[in-house]
Structure 1
Amino acid sequence: MGKTRLALRAAADVAHTFTGGVRLVELGDVHDARKLIGTLAASLAPEITAPSLDDLTEYLATQRALLVFDNCEHLVDDVAVVVGKLLRVCPDLRILATSRECLGIGGEATLALRPLATPDCHCPSSPSGLPSYEAVALFADRASAAVPGFGITEDNQFAIAKICQRLEGLPLPIELAARRLRALSAQQILEHLDDPCCFLTLGSRGAPARQQSLRSSLDWSYDLCSAAERCLWEVLSIFEDGFDLDAAEAVCAGYATSGELLDVLTSLINKSIITPEQTRGLVRYRMLATVRHYGLDKLRATDRHTTVLHRHRDWFIKLALHADACWLGSRQVELIDRLDRERANLYAVMSACLDEPRDAPCGLRIAIALRRFWVTRGLLDEGRHWLSHARAHQLPGRSFVQVTALCAESTLAGLQGRSREAFDLLAEARRFAALNLDPGVGQLVLRAEAEVSLATDDATTAAALFEITLEAIDASGDDTARLEALTGLGRALGHNGDLESAATYLQEALVISDAHGESVNRAVAHTALAAISKTGAPTRAAHHLDVALHLTRQLRSPVLAADLLHIAATLTADRHAERAAVLFEAAAAWQHRVGRIPTGAPANLDNVRARTTLRLGEREQSQAQQRGRRFSLDQAVAYALGEQPDRDERCTRSGDLLTPREWQVAQLIRQGSTNKVIAETLVISQRTAQGHVERILNKLGFTSRVHVAAWMTEREAVDPEAVLEVGWRGR
């Protein structure tokens, strides 16, 4: 992480405040705790022969000095004892320590170093803007040393950005990768990063042994772990993209009890192997990919690997099936969030199952269990890929499960507007259903055909099919199927203009939904009620729209959000053309992002959009479209609700974000100015300058001045007109 370099720079910056000077105590090559005092004496008071800790304490007692203890992790307990005594006895002594693990003593203030900033893949970068990101700047600096004249160009900028992202902003791997430029291009380096431990091996000859290669650095951390910590590092590496505590307990069963697991997990966090992340009151644990791949390599070399792999598989199969079985319930949003957090793990398990013929049916069962989740979260392409992939790995047959998979895939294709593909899949499902004696199979196909017909704008056929399926479902007592058929029939009738019947079915759906405390179909029903009310009863439509938007915010469903944004745009078009233009563009953008092909908007919607465009000037229309296009999902929903969206629209026009004074401050940040320099330049107090910087970070949604500098550089490259406008406003 560059701890040593940062400590030395910090020490140099404050050296003038220490009359006793700054002393560096290098501990990286001290492997015997008995040599610790001797090493300290050699760095602090070489004139003392046969020194003891008491001798050093007496020597430093009256000095105002700063000691830099570098690389303490392998001697952390002994260093803690020494540092603790020195600080107790020497009132003017200050100690700056670098370590992969905290010393854990009183008075210790820790600064946890995070990876260097890498380019945001959601925001286009220019060659001139990329070096403002810390990781790219480091790569470019080391690349110039390896290959004189090296520069970031249009040809290599994408590869460089991806290298920094793949290496997670870690300084040592980035430096090692840059050294490879003597023999390879940036694109070739990127292609070799599938196994970074084997590839990143050319360290500086002057660097310590642990920094000669990426593997050496990881070996150093691994060797400092206890046997229990090594075991759990290996076992927990089986998780693809982090894990919750309950999943860890299931996979680690037999290797650690619940109490032991938490203790060792905490120890691995203290050693910087695992990082805890808290979201919505839940702590999730992650490893950097580099650390995880190292642990996984170690696991594969043990006899635990197969057992751990099977436990991981069984846990996530159970999770997927449980979420499907409990879909219609009060924990629906919680289950959706959990499935979203575990997507990488679920996909890894599916892939592993499909690679093993005897486990292939399990892979298909997971894919089917995730079908509603994929629709809710707008992951239509992902869902189709996995359903198709899972079907292809099954033995020939016409089972209920395979028909279910075909119906699910056809529904996703219909939602994308790919009617031909959807009906081809349905035709295959019908052929299988005709050969299956289970009457439930035929009902399943009818429901899917109704959904596809509705999604592809054949509302008349959809309504007829939903009515047939409702009659069959009434006898089965399946509340989930009934609820989905009621909302489907209500939407179809609404499209056909039978608004009264549509409202009746949708209200019935709301009764069932409320009884179960679920959210997805409730949001669908309120969306449909808003759509059928927007012309004749705008007040009622606004109520349903508000409820549906709040539910969609919880569900984070881009499919529903796109429909709601269109409704919101229609309701506001006559009163606020610019607002409507933003909403229309946001709706279209989110339709595109989830892979939905417009299948022909209703004529009245096209007319509203046309009127909106005519009422705005070309410049206003362009600005509104740019803003709507760049909204995140949360921002779009907040805007539709009339709230102020969070200011992390990093690619929006400059004038929409910062005041003229804040722009002046942002320009100075880009130039590398400190708060003191900003204050002197703008003739303001340092406290005021700091306030401006904090507001800029909040508005842009950044955590680092480096991100602000990169953002400013990119704005100049992408939108020079905005910079000119700011210059005019600043005057």
Structure 2
Amino acid sequence: MTGGPYPAIRTPDQRIRVFISSTLRELADERLAVRAAVERMGLAPVMFELGARPHPPRELYRSYLAQSDVFIGIYADSYGWVAPGEEISGLEDEYRLAPASMPKLIYIKASDGRDPRLAELIDRIRSDDTAAYLPFRNAEDLERQVAADLATLLAERFDDSRSAGADGVESAASLVARVPSLYTTTIGREAELAQVREMLARGEDRVISLIGPGGIGKSRLAIEAALATEDLFPDGTYFVPLEGVLEGDLLLPTIGFALGIRDNGEAVLEERISRALEGRRVLLVLDNFEQIVDVAPVLVRLYTVAPLARFLVTSRTVLRIRGERVYEVPALPFPAAGEPTSIERARRSAACTLFIDRARAAKPGFELTEENADAVADICRRLEGLPLAIELAAAKVRLLTPQGIAKRLERSLPLLTAAVRDLPERHRTMRATIDWSVSLLPDIQREMLTDLGVFATRFTIDAVEALGIGRSWDGHGIDGLAALVDGSLVKQTDVEGRSVFSLLAIVREYALGRLKERGDADQVRAAHADYYRALVARLAPGLRGVGQLESVGELGLELPNLRAAIRHLVYTDRLDDAADFAWSLLVYWWIAGLFGGVRVWMLELLGKDRPITQHTRAVAWFLALWGEMWQRPSKEVIAGLGETVRLFTDTGDEDAAAMALAARATARVQYSAAGAEKAEKELLRASVKLRALGNGWAEALAEVSLGRLAWVQGRTDEAFAHFDRATTVAVAGNDLFNTSVAGNLRARLKFLGGDVDGAEKEFIQTLMLSIRLHYDEGVAYGLEGLCAVSAARDDARRAGALSVAAARIRHRIGVFDVEAFTVHTPYLARLRERDPEGVAAGERAGEELTVPEAVALALPELDRQHADPLLAHW
């Protein structure tokens, strides 16, 4: 073969790719033989049938060819299939599309019955001076011949590479430094790509570091950025893979090799590279820098001499050098929890779109449907938008439905494996990806990461330092956390003015596994529970009044850890501690709508054959019966709450006894109108007692219950009086929760009395309070109230949308309003009779609304502006 200057060959860790072209069925044995020969040489076979569709488009095998280095053609009798609308077969098209500069080894099998069109093609190949024309007899003969020819070809290229220019960069782009072609479509990175291009175009930053955990898509973004910025770097773009470079001393030789500069000992390599880059506008992409991050200052020395050169680095850890601009590569956006997931919403999510695309590659018939859209969204949520994890999960659609995948992701690491041969070893499974990052940590940070697995979802620096007491990393909490953040194993974010940290769910699962293997999981969990007991003891007093908003906000940040702490206390038989913990958070459980979970923990506590105090027994029964009182009132519930009154009284807890008395009275009303008189007396006694004890929160609730009782009995003026009294007590104590509850009920009475404008104003006020508290049930009340207002004003679309949005919240939290107190449903029914199409259109729109979108629809413009920042974290 002849041709222009040959490109330099690759080192063993940068495998040359060999494209193998032939008909598939006719030459199946020969294809296997060639593949064996290629792999025996340590090279990578590129075979079109691997992962391809039965009749792939021309662009696909063009892509395969673009990332290949050697072309092997195997021809016998058949010319191959000609696709509809095409004039030539894929076999001939592949040969034509192979670049003229690509070495071509063409093997022809002897034949007496060759297709005339193939014979014409072979005749043209004979006259092509860039191709070697070689006969063979059978598959065995072919395997030996291909191995020998490839060895000869590589030796030839090696000789030519040694004669390349010593101090300059080779005129022909090196195979090593060529930007790789991507096998699959990049999805959901338009904004990130635009931002990286803008940073490179500005030219203010010498080094741009794409930072993120393994599997986030750093390398893919770097490749796309390199391809998208070729116009900015007229002197060349060089891609330098560092995944196999584990020693810092090899950084310069690897960069030099990519640039075509050989280390012949005649001059210091760093000087030769600097001279080669000086005065040239080039981009060097350094991929997978994390394992040699200690030698990052070398880049400073290079760009100091060559100020026009730019470096685009991918790394799991920050380089921390002068001139570095850190760009944290984010996960793909995914549908938020609690949002309705229709086909349209799933398709608008980049994470779901990626899953769908990769699922179709694995199973061409895969389709997104109304039946599986929720499961696809759930998968992407569980995997937190991590592209590699989503791709690994999508590959499982060959065996499982999306529903089956979502279920198995409850333990995600075992599921997330890949059978793709040419993925880097560190990406074959998510466990290997995490192992790669963890292996780069010093021992103290590795042990710290393992201990952090005990946290659920997110945590604070105070919690980390408390957990570290007595651990190997005691005293290194802040520095260790900073290092783990730099290493992309811990993420730091600001939520409502607070700095919080988190682990990806997959990293947390990995860390917990290591914690259990180490044998001290219970010890770490005990320290975790003790910290949160102390936190609750500090915050709980503020829940009933002054400090309510701040306490609810801080507890909201820690909610998953609160659940984990109480579960651990029950599991380890610290039952009295668990009951105290749960009782302290009574107000918060209500605001957060978590009584269902509390009931489960308390029933588990009561079911244990362990000694507990009478107070613990009272707390457990009270919390277990609270939800039953509202949802399934019965004689047994009334009797059970009566028993809690006795138990609290016997233990001297008058405050709890008065609250239990009010709860029993409420249960009577919920169960039967016949108990109304007795209930009213108990509520009045409880209200007086709670006022005397200074428990304004519970007193306001008792007044609300008295108002509800007066309402159903038709005593509207008395109902208003009780709601006003509840509001007065709540406002005096800065109790936003009861202000919202009482205000909403008062607004409903105003609405029924014909004061639509006054009701609207109060519905808006209570909705804003509920948003501030992140009180879902209160938001539902507010949306329902404003639905009624819209219905009264004949705004059919808005009324229908708000009704459905409120109903979706109620279904999600499992708390439904008492029919006697609903005001929106009759007005909506009458409006439906007048404008059925308008209401139906609104209801269809409401199915698609998120909570923030529903609130935005409900509120006037001025209030919406105040609500938007509060809704940012819903």
TM-score between both structures, scaled by the size of structure 2: 0.66
Distance 2:461 2:509 in 1: 20
Distance 1:252 1:464, change over 3 A: same
Distance 1:153 1:525, change over 3 A: closer
Q: Deviations over 1:339-396 (max 9, x none)?
A: 232222222222222223x323333333333332232233453344344344334648
Contact 1:62 1:90 in 2 (8 A): yes
Contact 1:514 1:522 in 2 (8 A): yes
Residue 218 of structure 1 and its aligned partner are, at CA, apart by 1.3
Distance 2:395 2:426 in 1: 17
Q: Please list, as runs of the form range in 1=range in 2, the aligned pairs for 1:32-71 lying within 5 A after superposition.
A: 32-50=247-265, 51-71=268-288
Contact 2:340 2:848 in 1 (8 A): no
Distance 1:203 1:380, change over 3 A: same
Contact 1:466 1:485 in 2 (8 A): yes
In structure 2, which of residues 744, 749, 753 is the aligned counterpart of residue 532 of structure 1? 749
Q: Runs of 5+ in structure 2 lacking a partner?
A: 1-215
Contact 1:636 1:645 in 2 (8 A): no
Residue 94 of structure 1 and its aligned partner are, at CA, apart by 2.0
Contact 2:408 2:415 in 1 (8 A): yes
In structure 2, which of residues 632, 647, 650 is the aligned counterpart of residue 437 of structure 1? 650
Does 2:339 align with 1:103? no
Contact 1:568 1:640 in 2 (8 A): yes
- Partner residue in 1 for 2:46: none
Q: Please list, as runs of the form range in 1=range in 2, the aligned pairs for 1:80-95 lying within 5 A after superposition.
A: 80-95=296-311
Compare 157-166 and 444-453 and name the one that shifted more. Answer: 157-166
Task: Find the residue that maps to 1:361 and give its secondary structure.
Answer: helix
Residue 627 of structure 1 and its aligned partner are, at CA, apart by 3.9
- Partner residue in 2 for 1:556: 774
Residue 66 of structure 1 and its aligned partner are, at CA, apart by 1.7
- Partner residue in 2 for 1:427: 639
Distance 1:633 1:450, change over 3 A: farther
Residue 186 of structure 1 and its aligned partner are, at CA, apart by 5.5
Distance 1:408 1:240, change over 3 A: same
Distance 2:724 2:755 in 1: 16
In structure 2, which of residues 557, 579, 586 is the aligned counterpart of residue 364 of structure 1? 579
Distance 1:139 1:538 in 2: 48
Distance 1:232 1:218 in 2: 15
Residue 463 of structure 1 and its aligned partner are, at CA, apart by 2.9
Distance 1:158 1:63, change over 3 A: same
Q: Please list, as runs of the form range in 1=range in 2, the aligned pairs for 1:211-226 lying within 5 A after superposition.
A: 211-226=427-442
Contact 1:473 1:482 in 2 (8 A): yes
Compare 592-601 and 238-247 and name the one that shifted more. Answer: 592-601
Distance 1:223 1:213 in 2: 15
Contact 1:380 1:412 in 2 (8 A): yes
- Partner residue in 2 for 1:620: 838
Task: Find the residue that maps to 2:367 and give its secondary structure.
Answer: coil
Q: Deviations over 1:453-497 (max 9, x none)?
A: 455684655433211223443554444433332333234334434
Contact 2:784 2:802 in 1 (8 A): yes
Does 2:562 align with 1:346? yes
Distance 1:117 1:4 in 2: 19
Structure with greater strand percent: 2
In structure 2, which of residues 481, 484, 492 is the aligned counterpart of residue 265 of structure 1? 481
Residue 516 of structure 1 and its aligned partner are, at CA, apart by 2.7
- Partner residue in 2 for 1:719: none
Distance 1:54 1:402 in 2: 78
Contact 1:196 1:214 in 2 (8 A): no
In structure 2, which of residues 597, 611, 621 is the aligned counterpart of residue 406 of structure 1? 621
Distance 1:185 1:373 in 2: 38
Distance 1:286 1:91, change over 3 A: same
Distance 1:199 1:255 in 2: 32
Distance 2:872 2:823 in 1: 38
Task: Find the residue that maps to 2:493 and give its secondary structure.
Answer: strand
Q: Deviations over 1:75-109 (max 9, x none)?
A: 1131x222212222213322211111232233333
CA RMSD of aligned residues (A): 3.6
Distance 1:145 1:632 in 2: 31
Q: Please list, as runs of the form range in 1=range in 2, the aligned pairs for 1:243-282 lying within 5 A after superposition.
A: 243-255=459-471, 260-282=476-498
Q: Please list, as runs of the form range in 1=range in 2, the aligned pairs for 1:157-236 lying within 5 A after superposition.
A: 160-178=376-394, 189-202=405-418, 204-236=420-452
Q: Deviations over 1:420-447 (max 9, x none)?
A: 3xx4223223346557735747644421
Does 2:819 align with 1:600? yes
Residue 291 of structure 1 and its aligned partner are, at CA, apart by 1.2
Distance 2:346 2:823 in 1: 45
Task: Find the residue that maps to 2:315 and give its secondary structure.
Answer: coil
Q: Please list, as runs of the form range in 1=range in 2, the aligned pairs for 1:672-711 lying within 5 A after superposition.
A: none
Q: Deviations over 1:499-525 (max 9, x none)?
A: 444444444444433333221122223
Distance 1:5 1:574 in 2: 55
Contact 2:253 2:263 in 1 (8 A): no
Task: Find the residue that maps to 1:109 and give its secondary structure.
Answer: strand
Letter matched to residue 636 of structure 2: D
Contact 1:140 1:150 in 2 (8 A): no
Distance 1:341 1:646 in 2: 24
Distance 1:313 1:614, change over 3 A: same
Max radius of gyration: which structure? 2
Residue 221 of structure 1 and its aligned partner are, at CA, apart by 0.8
Distance 1:474 1:140 in 2: 60
Distance 1:170 1:548, change over 3 A: closer
Distance 1:159 1:488 in 2: 41
Residue 21 of structure 1 and its aligned partner are, at CA, apart by 1.9
Q: Deviations over 1:110-160 (max 9, x none)?
A: 33222234455633344x98677544555555555656x452365766655
Contact 1:67 1:95 in 2 (8 A): yes
Higher relative contact order (CA 8 A, sep 6+): 1
Distance 1:490 1:136, change over 3 A: closer
Compare 48-57 and 599-608 and name the one that shifted more. Answer: 599-608
TM-score between both structures, scaled by the size of structure 1: 0.78
Q: Runs of 5+ in structure 1 lacking a partner?
A: 648-697, 703-731
Residue 588 of structure 1 and its aligned partner are, at CA, apart by 3.9
Residue 274 of structure 1 and its aligned partner are, at CA, apart by 1.0
Contact 2:788 2:823 in 1 (8 A): no
Residue 543 of structure 1 and its aligned partner are, at CA, apart by 4.8
- Partner residue in 2 for 1:591: 810
Q: Deviations over 1:166-192 (max 9, x none)?
A: 333323334444555666665555554
Task: Find the residue that maps to 1:293 and give its secondary structure.
Answer: helix
Contact 1:26 1:70 in 2 (8 A): yes
Residue 288 of structure 1 and its aligned partner are, at CA, apart by 0.4
Residue 552 of structure 1 and its aligned partner are, at CA, apart by 1.8
Distance 1:540 1:264, change over 3 A: same
Contact 1:375 1:559 in 2 (8 A): no
Structure with greater helix percent: 1
Distance 1:189 1:629 in 2: 26
Letter matched to residue 278 of structure 2: A
Compare 265-274 and 163-172 and name the one that shifted more. Answer: 163-172
Residue 31 of structure 1 and its aligned partner are, at CA, apart by 1.3
Distance 1:603 1:172 in 2: 48
Q: Please list, as runs of the form range in 1=range in 2, the aligned pairs for 1:463-542 lying within 5 A after superposition.
A: 463-534=680-751, 535=753, 541-542=759-760
Contact 2:540 2:551 in 1 (8 A): no
- Partner residue in 1 for 2:830: 611
Distance 1:337 1:426, change over 3 A: farther
Contact 1:360 1:394 in 2 (8 A): no
Letter matched to residue 591 of structure 1: R
Distance 1:500 1:193, change over 3 A: closer
